[in-house]
Amino acid sequence: MVPAVCVACRRAGDVARTDPLCRACRRALPWLGLPRCRRCGLPGECGSHCPARAQAFSGAWAPMAYAGAVPALVNALKERGAVGIARLMAAQIAATAPPGQWAGGSATAGTATQARGAPPAVALVPVPADPLRRRRRGVDHAARLAAELAPRCGLSVAPVLTRPMAVGSRQAGLSRAQRLAPDRLAVGLRTGQRAPPAVPSVAILVDDVHTTGATLHACALALREAGAEDVRAVTYARALRD
């Protein structure tokens, strides 16, 4: 039998079959503690200097810093779509989410008070993947993460957003100013259906990493324009530098 290999350090041994990390890498995971800025998710209290102060989502949160073993986990999810990694991320997000993270007003998705055919009061909305990279990888990593997170937080998944095929939409390697340039990222509602997609009143965006927030901002704008009353963001990791 071939021994399991740690996703982060690539060493065999001391890795459970159901765990992508060895014990040493798991112990060294860069958990983010408190206090935390409720607006952008960075450690500390940002106040008027919050980098998300002009962005369209009302709050952001992630359990991990984008450091240590986390980039290797994120890359494995994006490139291989490993279900075990999505499951680990979702479990860690759900287990450490702050109080009220999945609530919205007096109702939650799927409650008996929701009218038949009405949009869910609260739902997870996967950040849409770049079409070219999704086709190359064969994986929609945010959708997979949202699917694993949904049963853990008691919400449904509303895949209502899409990104058109476009050249030059890659974010990696760009400066903060370039990423946040107006209209750089085109995000809209899915089309080609008999009826417009049902946009939740409270939309919780789900993605792997929060860097500048440019993609989350573009998604939040599209959701608010479509009628969402509140948009929050949940990711597995928060980059501490742009």
pLDDT at 155: 96
Helices (H) and strands (E) in the chain, counts: 7, 8
Tell me the two tokens of residue 172: 């990696």
* Phi, psi at 8, each rounded to 5°: -85, -55
pLDDT at 110: 39
pLDDT at 184: 54
Long-range CB pairs of 191-195 (<8 Å, 24+ gap) are 191/162
Q: Tell me which fold the domain 26-106+120-238 belongs to.
A: Rossmann fold (3.40.50)
Tell me the two tokens of residue 60: 């952001």
What residues does each domain of the chain span? 26-106+120-238
Task: Give every CB contact of residue 12 below 8 A, 6+ residues apart in sequence.
Answer: 3, 4, 5, 6
- CA proximity to 55, closest of 199, 211, 226, 227: 211
Q: What is the pLDDT along the chain (242 residues), one digit of tens a residue?
A: 556 889 999 888 777 777 889 989 999 999 999 999 999 999 999 999 999 999 999 999 999 999 999 999 999 998 877 778 999 999 999 999 999 999 874 333 333 334 455 567 999 999 998 877 767 777 889 999 999 999 999 999 999 999 876 544 555 555 555 454 455 568 888 876 666 678 999 999 999 999 999 999 999 999 999 999 999 999 999 999 76
Query: Which helix (H) or strand (E) covers residue 222, if one does?
Result: helix 214-225
In this prediction the pTM is 0.84
Q: 89, 144 in Cβ contact below 8 A?
A: no
